[in-house]
Structure 1
Amino acid sequence: MKNNFFLLSAFAFIFSFISCTKEDSLAATDNDPIVASASIDLVNELDIKTGSQISFEKLTAKQTGKSSATSCATITDIATSAFPKTYNVDFGTGCTINGITRKGKLKITFSNYITETGSTMTIERVDYYVNGNKVEGKIEYKNITSSPNTIQWTRTVIDGKFTDTKGDVYINTGTHTIKQTVGVSTPTLDDNTYEMIEGTHTVTKQNGAKITLTVSESLIKSYNCDYVSKGKLKVNSTLLNGTIDYGNGDCDNNATYTQNGIIFPFTM
């Protein structure tokens, strides 16, 4: 995920280019919620990966040294003899990994092992910033597995609030369903593959501009790849109605946005 923040500048380029085409109505559209949505999704995935790594290292006693997700953070165990178990992840005044700088804290609480049906992992942001953007609210990651061969979770954003470096504020909500398709039976995270099979994310700017992104084809991401490698999101707003396509499965930073038959390639 180290270069996903380049998606911000990519979108800025894409939509400034669109506004110069004959689609004149697009020029009047506030595109900032799309840029904010890309950042919000990146942070959500980043924080869930951190929580998953802590669960793997702290709760299953399979620690092999600090992971890249927590290598420059201080992890404090709020000691309890039974679940729920809580860990504070403190990035201090600045912790940079793969070009992404985080500061502040994550408070991560496990109701049980996250591989157990019905268990939840709750991630709370405490004075938390990612690349200068303030991120507030919670993520609830709940295990909804009904078959031991297909582990599934829901990811719900609660009271999401994103304040960018310009001071613009975005309220965000959404719930997605995620299933693990590869690596279920192995004792490591590195071979895991996940699919976001359904869900919708809504981002509303302080001026009322809103955009909704809905999974139209499952998004596929491997644990050991920084990028979503396949899948599509449907983009909807008053004037922007297109599709983000992440490709055909290659682990790269290439994607496209398509609207009215016009394809705009970009890199994340």
Structure 2
Amino acid sequence: MKNLKMYFFALVLVSFISCTKEDDKSTENVDSEMVGANMTADFTSELDFNSGIDIASNNSSYSSKTTNEASVVPACATVTVNNTTPGVFPKIFTVDFGTGCTQNGITRSGILTITLSGYVMTNGSTMTIERSNYYVNLRKIEGTVVYTNETTNVAIPQWTRTLTNGKITLPNGAVFTHSGTRTVKQTAGVSTLLLGDNIYEVISGTHTVNRPNGSTLTSTIVEPLIKKYACNYISQGKLNLQGTVLDGVLDYGNNNCDNLATYYHNPNGQTYNVNL
């Protein structure tokens, strides 16, 4: 009888430990900072890509397309280039936002270095974006982003976006490292002479964010992320988020131009509003 009681106790204990492990993701608090860091990684990459597209257009390095609309690079930023001869590459642009430069509610400081190996819209050309003491809305953004043009159909330009050595430091001192690859295509505005009607879709790829304490998060495209040139933010699309604590879907909404998203946590069905 004694052995039977001990066996029963051991069985209950094992069952309890097993259930506890399975319930970890549903009982722990959702790591909203990790979700926000993941959003920041995509947001800043596309924001800086817009800056590169803008600069290329204004310096005869895009194609024959020109723009008469407000630049996404603020007038308070200083833009310089290593050579101004049309058709001569590489072109290295330095965008200096100084100690603080604000446009459309986004404040940037520091320096972006954007290197074009050829015309942005030409297959095989690359746009390399490097950050130096660069901040976006008080978040320090580090890392190198390379957009490689892989267009096979001129009506649907496409790039592979590769981010390496990414690092985000929040105002409270929290640090995240990140890296990943996405595929981006242009789905509107290709045939017009304006940039303002351009729409880009991030259609596939994964991205991983890490905390120094070892927790991780991997995001995968579920529905294409919609990024309008005329909007600072990703306005639509869904990501599947899987990590140490997180297990759910990040939904960017119904194509409104705002900085809001909703996270749906699968284990317990709770929803959380997230903003940049």
- TM-score of the two chains, using structure 1 as the length reference: 0.83
| Alpha-carbon distance, 1:215 to partner | 0.5
| Alpha-carbon distance, 1:210 to partner | 0.9
Match runs of 1:152-167 below 5 Å: 152-167=158-173
Match status 1:184 vs 2:190:
yes
Q: Provide the secondary structure at the position in 1 that maps to 2:59.
A: helix
Q: Deviations over 1:238-267 (max 9, x none)?
A: 231111122344445554322237352636
Q: Deviations over 1:28-74 (max 9, x none)?
A: x6443222222222221211111110011112583647613232100
Match status 1:206 vs 2:207:
no
Match status 1:37 vs 2:38:
yes
| Alpha-carbon distance, 1:174 to partner | 0.8
C-alpha distance in 2 between matches for 1:208 and 1:191: 42
Q: Provide the secondary structure at the position in 2 that maps to 1:45.
A: helix
Q: Deviations over 1:74-96 (max 9, x none)?
A: 00111264200011000011111
- TM-score of the two chains, using structure 2 as the length reference: 0.81
User: Per the alignment, do residues 38 and 56 of structure 1 end up closer, same or farther by CA in structure 2, a change over 3 Å counting?
Assistant: same
Does the CA-based 8 Å contact 2:202-2:224 persist in structure 1? yes
Which residue is 1:169 aligned to? 175
Which residue is 1:262 aligned to? 269
Match runs of 1:209-228 below 5 Å: 209-228=215-234
Q: Provide the secondary structure at the position in 1 that maps to 2:40.
A: helix
Q: Provide the secondary structure at the position in 1 that maps to 2:41.
A: helix
Which residue is 1:237 aligned to? 243
Match status 1:77 vs 2:89:
no
Q: Provide the secondary structure at the position in 2 that maps to 1:262.
A: coil
Matched residue type, 2:271:
F
User: Per the alignment, do residues 58 and 204 of structure 1 end up closer, same or farther by CA in structure 2, a change over 3 Å counting?
Assistant: same
| Alpha-carbon distance, 1:125 to partner | 0.5
Q: Provide the secondary structure at the position in 2 that maps to 1:208.
A: coil
Does the CA-based 8 Å contact 2:25-2:247 persist in structure 1? no
Which residue is 2:119 aligned to? 113
* Residue-pair matches, total: 246
User: Per the alignment, do residues 168 and 255 of structure 1 end up closer, same or farther by CA in structure 2, a change over 3 Å counting?
Assistant: closer
User: Per the alignment, do residues 39 and 78 of structure 1 end up closer, same or farther by CA in structure 2, a change over 3 Å counting?
Assistant: same
Matched residue type, 2:128:
T
State the Cα RMSD in Å. 2.3
C-alpha distance in 2 between matches for 1:226 and 1:96: 13
**Between 172-181 and 94-103, the greater mean CA deviation after superposition:** 94-103
C-alpha distance in 2 between matches for 1:64 and 1:251: 21
Matched residue type, 2:34:
P
C-alpha distance in 2 between matches for 1:183 and 1:75: 25
